Structure 1
Amino acid sequence: MISKSRFLIPLILCGLLAITTQSCFDSDDYDMDRLSDKVEWTPNMIAPVGYGTYTLWYLLNEHELNPNDQTIFLEGNNLVIRHRENDIFTYAVDDVLDFPNQVSQNLGITIGTFAGIPHASIPTNPIPFSETFSVDAGDPDIILSNLQLNATIDLSLTNPLDTEIDLTVTFPGITEGGSVVTRTFRVGANAINHPESISLSNAIVNFKTPYTTSNEVNIDFSVYIRDNGTTISGSGDVGVNLTVQNIDFITASGDFGKQTINIGTGSIDLGVDFWDDVDGEYRFADPKIHVHLRNSVGVPFAINANITGYSSSGSTQNLNPDVLQPTNYPKTITDVLDTPNEETITYDKNNSDIVDLMALPPSDRLDYFGNVDLNPNTVDIATQPNIISNTSRIDADIEIEIPLEFTATNLTLKDTIDGVDIDDADKVMNAAVVITAQNGYPLDVTVENIQLTDASYNVIDEIKDNEVIDAASVYTSGANIGVVDPNSIKEVSHEIKLTQTQIANLNKTENIIINAVVSTQNGGIPVKLKGDYELKFTISVQAQLDLSN
């Protein structure tokens, strides 16, 4: 803000210095009497240096040639610093649920001992056997209730008998196309590690109840001993080695546990350059940090994050926000598979120390860090399970919004004009700058001093001016509190006179440092800066020149 309006002060000084090189002015162009009635000596050179009407919006944005560099925006008639960075945090489904390679499970189906039994005496009914197998979800705290997946179940079968058997494998909790998955395999006599496989495509897996972290699936076997026409011999169990491979889940439901996901660290540069040029105390009334979420993960979570601001002086301040829990997360499979839900959570003065953070000011950078905590509350799988798909993800953007509504005390602005080259200051006998202004801004402005320095920035001389360009008053109550009262705007006029020593020191001046102070009044009521606030001014430079040389 200030960096765009401070060009008025150099304009005054440049006008003063310009008179040393001008040979003449047409007195018919100016009302010399009116311009000279402010000084005690009689000038022989009077030049209006500048005049105009400047809206606050113009001063703040006139020099932003690239719209991408703009950080101050006019929204309605309100001025707002706004900065956004996209995709500061992303987490995908494999941060929540990632199935590792599954461990093989060995099962034995007891069929009894056959010691030369005539084929006519073998059991006529299949021998049943039931078991469960567990699915490893990659985290010991994850409880699965339902999966939709593609997968392969590899079987290695061993037959202890000297006759063929038919082994039927049924998964009562797994359906494919609406039908229970069942397969029958013929295993040769005395076969060892006979390979078979079951391919599942878009299958629905319902886990055994009550749901536990074992994530068990029921499996039923039946063994039919085939007649070989002779005696049947053999002893031991029918061996089944079962391995689930290549789990490619489509959707998953259950309780995914209290996982903690690190959001990483990053830095934000607000790009508000004027913070580098100010000292003093100011507090924005209502700054906000918005986190914009796009969410297709059907898991409640809490954001336990923080932001640290670093000023150019080395000071720091934390945001110290409350833990915030978004509510608009997907709650059905249809919602999870649809367009991501959008939600914005906001850190403001009610749930964080953002006012202190922005008063630092964070002119160097803002660093963010923290965690996302899944399932901060107990999950009821029966009524509201966690739900994700293989495309689920959360993306977060951050937007910093600072309405230009603030209080300021002794806000010191400093600017330097480098490379000043003045060769003819000895022609100036007396000089003064007269400023007449109508200040429609709610800001008192005082140019405390103008320092003349050498090339090494050692101060040679100092031009002091403690006159205040009075601020317009603001309403202190009602709907327009903090807004300028137009009836309070008044015209003020004052002059800055140079001493003989100061004029002489212009020849030695290489740089000029300008120090100004800005304050707000109104009993601490934050002032609201509006785009149509106006500053009207005229500036004239008046001098006595030695025209004899």
Structure 2
Amino acid sequence: MRTGRRSIIFFILLISFTGCIKEKFDPSDFDASLDLTPGLAIPIGFSHLGVEKYLADSTLNDIIRISNDGFVSIYYTAEIDSGVMEDIFSINDASVNQAIVNQTGSDIFLNIPGITFDLADSIRIPVIATQADARIDSITLLSGTLQLNLTSVNLTGTITFKIDGLIQNGVPFTVTRDLADPDFTISLAGYTIIPEHDIAGNNLLKCEMAINFQSPSGPVNPGGTIVDIRADLSGMDYETIYGDFGGYTIDFPAQTIATPFFSKMTDGEILFADPEIKLFFQNSAGVPFGIYFSRIDAIDGNNAGYPLTGPGIPSAASPKIIAYPALNQEGQTISDSLVIDSNNSNLSEFLSTTPDSITINASSEITSLTPSSTSFINHDSKYKVSAAIELPLWGKADFLILLDTIEFDDLSSAIPPPEEVDRLIVRTSIINSFPVTVYPQIYLLDENYVMLDSLFTGLEKIEGATDTNGDGIADPHKQPPIDIDLPRSRIDNLLNARFLLAKGRIMTTDYPALDVKLYSSYYLDYYVGVIAQLKINTGQ
């Protein structure tokens, strides 16, 4: 019996495993004992379907996990989201214009040589992040520019700019310029900004100005503009920002995880005893991300969605706060995880919908700190969220499965000519160690995929194995042969078949009372042969 390696379906594993490992046929294992006269026994083939041999030649290795004791699990993984903080959290450019006004109550007019006059004022430059309401305690800069431009008329003297919140090597920035040439631009690489905060919580970089007027200057009338100042912060790339970023939200893209495990199931249910959805987090940003899910849905073959619910699923009101590095762990990546199972959710019922895929919609929001606390974001801080769906093959099931159409070899070379045959019996001898019973059906299709016949009556079954010695592992079961009786009227249908369409009902042993486990040592051996009753040739 030949099929493509993709065409023999591993009914017994309850999943769409595919593979066929051919072995040498041993005629002694084929029971041809039938009282047919005259008769001819024709071995067709033998197959050994075993998990371990199958895994050695399967593209599904990356989703199958086998524990030390041979217990089999299916494991689907997907990345939910990942990112680098400098790509999502930045310092915006900012500008401020301010006029310094004569508030002395008198004219400022220096027209006698040697006379001077001093005036002090300040300007506050906004320091604005992607999150406008973030409290910024300090910013260590990799690059950026501060530009100050000053416009005045009929003034002589100097202006000194002092910015205590702009520090390099522990020294606050200060510079003195001539009022005839007051403008300047500095690179902020290597500087640290320490903003002050007003009552509204705005982050402000205060620049103090001391103007020394010299003769001749003025006149400037009371209430008149002495100088106009424009300050610009631009192109700021940070190394580290310290502060409180509570309320900043990252919406992860919706993620769909395909679950081909269920793709061939058409009706019924499968109940896993211990399924899990695991979320894994990696975080090198020193902020408390609160992860929550707006929806997790099982999407079935009709594109209908079934929600995952329960107290174990973080919500916006009760997020999962993932671990993050403390200030003394800056530069380290901290890992964390979350497990959703049948104890904290409806996961078993969720999976009983036999979904084609599972969609996850998640977000994260940085939670607020106590007023005296600070957190940090490095420019290269990273976060990563990934998901795994683990399906230990432990549970109970009763469902229908419909498999792909497969090519069927012409049997004309294996049996006598049709005109010499009165009756054919296709006999299958089976040894099954899987704790699963299969009620098979195979439809015969011609070259145009028109159904010619079905092989089974619906009463035949591959009997499931049971644990006979109490060690928790099913023991191999050899059942009486399964015979498919093909009288003369049905033989032509078999010979004319060019394709097979397989369908079956699968039921775990002692369903629904017992949960069963599948181990990699389980196997199914079957021997297939044809017993032919020949026409008696009288020579007349």
Give TM class, smaller chain: 0.7 to 0.9
Secondary structure (helix, strand or coil) at the match of 2:490 reads helix
2:324 pairs, out of 326, 329, 343, with 329
Quickly say closer, same or farther: Cα 1:6–1:304, change in 2 above 3 A: closer
Quickly say closer, same or farther: Cα 1:390–1:362, change in 2 above 3 A: same
Q: Which residue of 2 aligns with 1:340?
A: 333
Letter matched to residue 31 of structure 2: L
Q: Give CA-to-partner distance per residue, 1:196-233, whole Å, 9 cap, x none.
A: 2333232222222567531123332222234x5xx654
1:234 paired with 2:222, answer no
1:491 pairs, out of 478, 496, 504, with 478
CA distance in 2, matches of 1:296, 1:11: 44
CA distance in 1, matches of 2:100, 2:242: 31
Q: Which moved more, 1:263-272 or 1:294-303?
A: 263-272
Letter matched to residue 44 of structure 1: G
Asked if the contact 1:278–1:414 (Cα under 8 Å) also holds between the matched residues in 2, the reply is no
CA distance in 2, matches of 1:286, 1:55: 24
Q: Which residue of 2 aligns with 1:56?
A: 51
Letter matched to residue 147 of structure 2: D
Write the mapping of 1:415-454 to structure 2, written as runs, cut at 5 A: 416-418=405-407, 421=410, 424-447=417-440, 449-454=441-446
1:527 paired with 2:516, answer yes
Secondary structure (helix, strand or coil) at the match of 1:524 reads coil
Asked if the contact 1:407–1:527 (Cα under 8 Å) also holds between the matched residues in 2, the reply is yes
Secondary structure (helix, strand or coil) at the match of 2:466 reads coil
Secondary structure (helix, strand or coil) at the match of 1:141 reads coil
Q: Which residue of 2 aligns with 1:175?
A: 167
2:192 pairs, out of 171, 189, 204, with 204
1:132 pairs, out of 124, 133, 152, with 124
Q: Which residue of 1 aligns with 2:138?
A: 146
Secondary structure (helix, strand or coil) at the match of 1:503 reads helix
Q: Which residue of 2 aligns with 1:18?
A: none
How far 1:52 moved relative to its partner? 6.5
Q: Which residue of 2 aligns with 1:373?
A: 364
Asked if the contact 1:433–1:540 (Cα under 8 Å) also holds between the matched residues in 2, the reply is yes
Q: Which residue of 2 aligns with 1:516?
A: 504
Q: Which moved more, 1:539-548 or 1:400-409?
A: 539-548
CA distance in 2, matches of 1:11, 1:176: 68
Quickly say closer, same or farther: Cα 1:250–1:196, change in 2 above 3 A: same
How far 1:185 moved relative to its partner? 1.4
Write the mapping of 1:180-191 to structure 2, written as runs, cut at 5 A: 180-188=172-180
Q: Which residue of 2 aligns with 1:301?
A: 290
Quickly say closer, same or farther: Cα 1:535–1:115, change in 2 above 3 A: closer
Asked if the contact 2:246–2:368 (Cα under 8 Å) also holds between the matched residues in 1, the reply is no
1:46 pairs, out of 36, 41, 55, with 41
CA distance in 2, matches of 1:232, 1:30: 118
1:222 paired with 2:210, answer yes
CA distance in 1, matches of 2:113, 2:97: 32
How far 1:45 moved relative to its partner? 1.3
Letter matched to residue 42 of structure 2: A
Q: Which residue of 2 aligns with 1:467?
A: 460
Percent of aligned pairs with the same amino acid: 20
How far 1:180 moved relative to its partner? 1.6
Equivalent pairs counted in the alignment come to 504
CA distance in 2, matches of 1:350, 1:80: 19
Asked if the contact 2:31–2:429 (Cα under 8 Å) also holds between the matched residues in 1, the reply is no
Q: Give CA-to-partner distance per residue, 1:127-186, whole Å, 9 cap, x none.
A: 33345332222443222121112332211224455432x212112222210112211112
Letter matched to residue 393 of structure 1: K
Quickly say closer, same or farther: Cα 1:426–1:357, change in 2 above 3 A: farther
CA distance in 2, matches of 1:401, 1:205: 48
Asked if the contact 1:315–1:360 (Cα under 8 Å) also holds between the matched residues in 2, the reply is no
Letter matched to residue 304 of structure 1: F
Asked if the contact 1:55–1:534 (Cα under 8 Å) also holds between the matched residues in 2, the reply is yes
TM-score (norm 2): 0.80
Q: Give CA-to-partner distance per residue, 1:315-364, whole Å, 9 cap, x none.
A: 433345433524222332x644x25333333443344444344333233x
Q: Which residue of 2 aligns with 1:213?
A: 201
How far 1:527 moved relative to its partner? 1.4
CA distance in 2, matches of 1:318, 1:290: 17
CA distance in 2, matches of 1:295, 1:11: 41
Q: Give CA-to-partner distance per residue, 1:442-498, whole Å, 9 cap, x none.
A: 111222x33334445444333315233332225999xx7xx3254xx4432133141
Quickly say closer, same or farther: Cα 1:475–1:387, change in 2 above 3 A: farther
2:491 pairs, out of 495, 498, 503, with 503
CA distance in 1, matches of 2:332, 2:314: 29
Letter matched to residue 382 of structure 1: S
Asked if the contact 1:297–1:394 (Cα under 8 Å) also holds between the matched residues in 2, the reply is yes
Letter matched to residue 403 of structure 1: P
Please list every run of 5 or more consecutive structure 2 residues that lacks an aligned counterpart in the other structure.
1-5
Write the mapping of 1:268-307 to structure 2, written as runs, cut at 5 A: 268-272=257-261, 275-276=263-264, 279-299=267-287, 300-307=289-296
Please list every run of 5 or more consecutive structure 1 residues that lacks an aligned counterpart in the other structure.
15-28
Q: Which residue of 1 aligns with 2:3?
A: none
Quickly say closer, same or farther: Cα 1:476–1:520, change in 2 above 3 A: farther
1:35 paired with 2:31, answer yes
Quickly say closer, same or farther: Cα 1:31–1:396, change in 2 above 3 A: closer
1:115 paired with 2:109, answer yes
Quickly say closer, same or farther: Cα 1:344–1:518, change in 2 above 3 A: same
1:250 paired with 2:239, answer yes
CA distance in 2, matches of 1:47, 1:544: 11
Q: Give CA-to-partner distance per residue, 1:64-95, whole Å, 9 cap, x none.
A: 2xx47753343431212223345x42333256
CA distance in 1, matches of 2:326, 2:536: 87
CA distance in 2, matches of 1:410, 1:163: 94
How far 1:441 moved relative to its partner? 1.1
RMSD between superposed Cα atoms in Å:
3.8
Asked if the contact 2:92–2:127 (Cα under 8 Å) also holds between the matched residues in 1, the reply is no
Q: Give CA-to-partner distance per residue, 1:247-305, whole Å, 9 cap, x none.
A: 22221122224233332234443454x72265422122233333333323233232325
Asked if the contact 1:293–1:397 (Cα under 8 Å) also holds between the matched residues in 2, the reply is yes
